[in-house]
């Protein structure tokens, strides 16, 4: 006991001394400085150094810093701008895309970046290579991929079996299983051999120095790099000498390491840690995850969500303000559409179907013949208004937000039953979702309105299980309206199609109930600058720097 008291006393003194002596005033952000190592913490680790393979956040994040893409999507406007491709054109069908490549780009092993290597990358990315143990990682991003033709050493034509307007955005895609370019020498390696990071060669601003699975990945500055996206206005090589991605699974250890100065920045900041860290002088930067909101996809072919009145009542029946006030931080936002606000074509439904109007919800249920039962849950033809939801527990906000919805819906006679489980259980249950679950809750990270086509199109993801059994829904109409998003790249027309797609999913058939917009939140020391969030809310460190002496 005495020892414990002594330890606490000593600890107190040490903390006081450190605080008093070490709190140097932060230098104001000025001219970027070269050099230094950024110690970065995050929850996941890279399971494979191959950026085309990985499906977790660490993998896409690190992949973005060792590889480049054909194009760069402006995170603010959604516009597709040049990167490794200087210009491009496409046919009127949107089945053929021709890219003119930069001629001064090299891989870190000295080999040139040219049309041949683009073809080799896309072919393997879409088809995989069973002999090498490489999966068809890009098959869902580049749906209907036919081939890449080498027109000249620095011109490629990529063609598809059907119109794929979203391919232009896919050429800039930075999230999971991304099309970051690997050298020909890397593409020849098996999946197992690609776990040797020194053999995974990209054109990016950093190269692998080391990779310790479960522990950390160390990146070093690529000498001679001078082709970061023009839109970033960054000249030449990265500022930092090194970036160390430290995997720290436990939240209190991540924040403790930041506060004690062991790491300079940490991703995966918990909602309850944001304010305390900000109060201690750390800066909180964040960006909503572009793509869809966290949504409830209604199973349109299963009782009782096959009743449009039930779906509409669920959209109207919960208090969004309550969730914003009690569960979300300013880094997050409540959903105003199925699309996240940064996605081109986003429209705001907070004043119409996505408002809190319990009285209207009750009226809709009354009119549809749902009468209040003895225990408060409504009943129709002897069957209860019980709605079973399957959700994922990977984001800390999910469960409390769903519980808040559940409470409000109980007031209007809807019994929402929550099953919020880790990803493997969710994946296993998903196979039975058509017959067992009224609602699957999820989101998709893709900064393009065609994310709706992919996720809800009857012939693609079909998350609302549209079929001949779906009542009150014209399945062909949904297919046709969502399909139009892949047929044009004219901004005005595309926005109009995006609006029609949101109208049909939210208003006309009430197939989804968007809940909130998830966010990627970073806390960093005041001496860290220039961490970029891209259009998919992944980070790039080419422009990041630290004040000297830290």
Partner 1 sequence: MLRYLAGKAGRAVFVVWAAFTLTFILLYVLPANPVDLLFDPAEVNSVPPEVKAAVAESYGFTEPVLVQYLDRLGHAVHGDFGTSAQTGASVASSIAGVLPATLGLAVGALALALVIAFVIALVATATRQRWLRNLVESLPTASVSIPVFLSGILLLQIFAFRLGWFPAFGERGWQSLVLPLVTLAIPVSGPIAQLLVRSFATEFRSGYVTTSWAKGATRARIIVGDVFRNASLPALTIAAVTFGSLMVNAVIVETVFARKGLGRMTQTAINTLDLPLVQGIVVFVAAAFALINLVVDLVYPLLDPRLRATLAVAGGRGTR
Stretch that binds partner 1, among 77-85, 147-155, 165-173, 454-462 (CB under 8 A): 454-462
Closest CA to 47 of 250, 245, 254, 186: 245
d(CA 228, CA 408): 49
Give the one residue of 455, 464, 517, 536 binding partner 1; rule: CB under 8 A. 455
Instruction: Give phi and psi for 484, each to the nearest 5.
Output: -60, -25
Give the one residue of 27, 77, 91, 140 binding partner 1; rule: CB under 8 A. 140
Closer residue to partner 1 in complex, CB, 23/214: 214
By residue count, the chain amounts to 550
Nearest distance from residue 61's CB to partner 1, in Å? 15
Three-state secondary-structure class, residue 307 = coil
Instruction: Give phi and psi for 160, each to the nearest 5.
Output: -125, 155
Closer residue to partner 1 in complex, CB, 246/500: 246
Closer residue to partner 1 in complex, CB, 13/151: 13
Nearest distance from residue 24's CB to partner 1, in Å? 17
Closer residue to partner 1 in complex, CB, 142/532: 142
Give the one residue of 52, 246, 331, 404 binding partner 1; rule: CB under 8 A. 246
272 touches partner 1 by CB under 8 A: no
462 touches partner 1 by CB under 8 A: yes
d(CA 549, CA 527): 9
Q: Determine contact, residues 69/83, Cβ cutoff 8 Å.
A: yes
Closest CA to 535 of 81, 74, 52: 74
Give the one residue of 220, 284, 460, 489 binding partner 1; rule: CB under 8 A. 460
Helix H segments across 284-332?
308-316, 320-326
Helix H segments across 245-290?
251-259, 271-279
Give the one residue of 27, 260, 352, 493 binding partner 1; rule: CB under 8 A. 260
Nearest distance from residue 249's CB to partner 1, in Å? 5
Closer residue to partner 1 in complex, CB, 236/249: 249
- Strands (E) located in 323-414: 333-334, 371-372, 378-380, 383-384, 386-392
Pairing of strands 71-73, 80-82: antiparallel
Closer residue to partner 1 in complex, CB, 8/29: 8
Give the one residue of 36, 38, 40, 50 binding partner 1; rule: CB under 8 A. 50
Element (H, E) at 38: strand 37-42
Nearest distance from residue 224's CB to partner 1, in Å? 30
Question: Which residues inside 10-49 make contact with partner 1, applying CB under 8 A?
Answer: 10-11, 14-15, 18, 47-48
Question: Which residues inside 389-428 make contact with partner 1, applying CB under 8 A?
Answer: 422-424, 426-428
Give the one residue of 53, 167, 206, 437 binding partner 1; rule: CB under 8 A. 53
For partner 1 (CB under 8 A), the number of binding residues is 63
List C-alpha distances in Å: 404 to 158, 316, 319, 324, 355: 47, 14, 8, 11, 15
Closer residue to partner 1 in complex, CB, 61/105: 61
- Label residue 188 exposed, middle or buried (CB < 10 Å: 0-12, 13-18, 19+): middle
6 touches partner 1 by CB under 8 A: no
Q: Three-state secondary structure along 82-129?
A: ECCEEEEEECCCCCEEEEEECCCCECCCCCECCHHHHHHHHHHHHHCE
| x/- map, 73-112, partner 1, by CB under 8 A | ----------------------------------------
| x/- map, 176-195, partner 1, by CB under 8 A | xx------------xxx-xx
Nearest distance from residue 315's CB to partner 1, in Å? 23
d(CA 410, CA 412): 5
Nearest distance from residue 6's CB to partner 1, in Å? 11
Stretch that binds partner 1, among 8-16, 21-29, 152-160, 479-487 (CB under 8 A): 8-16
Closer residue to partner 1 in complex, CB, 329/398: 398
d(CA 18, CA 319): 46
Give the one residue of 300, 301, 305, 463 binding partner 1; rule: CB under 8 A. 463
Nearest distance from residue 288's CB to partner 1, in Å? 17
Closer residue to partner 1 in complex, CB, 6/29: 6
Nearest distance from residue 320's CB to partner 1, in Å? 24
Q: Determine contact, residues 190/133, Cβ cutoff 8 Å.
A: yes
Three-state secondary-structure class, residue 380 = strand
253 touches partner 1 by CB under 8 A: yes
Closest CA to 361 of 307, 321, 305, 310: 310
Long-range contacts of 308-312 (CB under 8 A, 24+ apart): 308/471, 308/472, 308/473, 308/509, 308/510, 309/364, 309/365, 309/367, 309/368, 309/370, 310/365, 310/368, 310/370, 310/385, 310/387, 310/414, 311/509, 311/510, 311/511, 311/513, 312/353, 312/361, 312/364, 312/510
Nearest distance from residue 12's CB to partner 1, in Å? 8
Give the one residue of 64, 169, 217, 445 binding partner 1; rule: CB under 8 A. 445
**Residue ranges that bind partner 1, judged by CB under 8 A:** 7-8, 10-11, 14-15, 18, 47-48, 50, 53, 55, 128, 130, 133-136, 139-140, 143, 176-177, 190-192, 194-195, 212-216, 246-250, 252-253, 256-257, 259-260, 262, 422-424, 426-428, 430-431, 442-445, 454-455, 460-463
């Amino acid at each position: 006991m005495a020892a414990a008291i002594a330890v606490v006393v000593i600890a107190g003194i040490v903390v006081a001394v450190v605080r008093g002596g070490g709190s140097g005033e932060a230098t104001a952000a000025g001219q970027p400085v070269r050099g230094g190592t950024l110690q970065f913490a995050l929850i996941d680790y890279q399971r494979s150094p191959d950026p085309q393979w990985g499906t977790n956040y660490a993998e896409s994040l690190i992949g973005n810093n060792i590889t480049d893409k054909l194009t760069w999507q402006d995170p603010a406007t959604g516009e597709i701008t040049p990167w490794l491709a200087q210009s491009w054109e496409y046919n009127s069908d949107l089945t053929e895309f021709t890219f003119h490549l930069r001629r001064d780009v090299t891989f870190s092993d000295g080999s040139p970046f040219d049309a041949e290597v683009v073809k080799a990358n896309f072919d393997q990315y879409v088809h995989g290579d069973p002999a090498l143990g490489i999966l068809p990682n890009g098959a869902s991003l580049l749906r209907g991929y036919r081939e890449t033709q080498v027109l000249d050493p620095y011109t490629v034509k990529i063609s598809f079996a059907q119109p794929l307007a979203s391919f232009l955005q896919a050429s800039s895609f930075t999230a999971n299983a991304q099309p970051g370019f690997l050298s020909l020498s890397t593409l020849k390696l098996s999946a197992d051999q690609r776990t040797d990071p020194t053999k995974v060669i990209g054109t990016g601003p950093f190269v692998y120095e080391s990779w310790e699975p479960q522990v950390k990945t160390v990146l070093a500055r690529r000498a001679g790099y001078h082709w970061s996206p023009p839109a970033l206005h960054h000249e030449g090589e990265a500022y930092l000498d090194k970036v160390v991605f430290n995997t720290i699974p436990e939240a209190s250890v991540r924040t403790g390491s930041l506060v004690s100065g062991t790491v300079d920045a940490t991703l995966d900041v918990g909602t309850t840690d944001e304010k305390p860290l900000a109060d201690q002088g750390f800066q909180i930067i964040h960006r909503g995850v572009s793509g869809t909101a966290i949504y409830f996809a209604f199973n349109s072919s299963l009782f009782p969500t096959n009743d449009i009145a039930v779906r509409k009542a669920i959209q109207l029946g919960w208090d969004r303000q309550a969730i914003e006030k009690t569960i979300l931080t300013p880094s997050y936002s409540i959903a105003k559409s199925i699309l996240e606000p940064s996605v081109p074509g986003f429209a705001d439904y907070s004043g119409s179907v996505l408002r809190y109007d319990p009285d209207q919800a009750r009226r809709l249920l009354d009119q549809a013949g749902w009468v209040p039962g003895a225990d408060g849950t409504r009943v129709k033809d002897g069957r209860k208004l019980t709605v079973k939801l399957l959700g994922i527990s990977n984001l800390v906000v999910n469960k409390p937000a769903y519980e808040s919805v559940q409470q409000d819906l109980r007031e209007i006679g809807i019994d929402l039953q929550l099953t919020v489980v880790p990803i493997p259980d969710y994946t296993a249950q998903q196979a039975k979702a058509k017959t067992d679950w009224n609602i699957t809750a999820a989101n998709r990270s893709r900064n393009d309105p065609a994310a709706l086509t992919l996720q809800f199109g009857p012939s693609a993801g079909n998350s609302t299980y549209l079929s001949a059994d779906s009542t009150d829904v014209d399945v062909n109409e949904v297919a046709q309206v969502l399909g139009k998003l892949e047929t044009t790249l004219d901004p005005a027309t595309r926005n109009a199609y995006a609006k029609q797609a949101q109208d049909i999913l939210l208003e006309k058939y009430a197939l989804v109930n968007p809940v909130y917009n998830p966010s990627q939140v970073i806390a960093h020391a005041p001496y860290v600058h220039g961490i970029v969030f891209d259009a998919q809310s992944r980070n790039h460190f080419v422009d990041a720097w630290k004040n000297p002496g830290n």
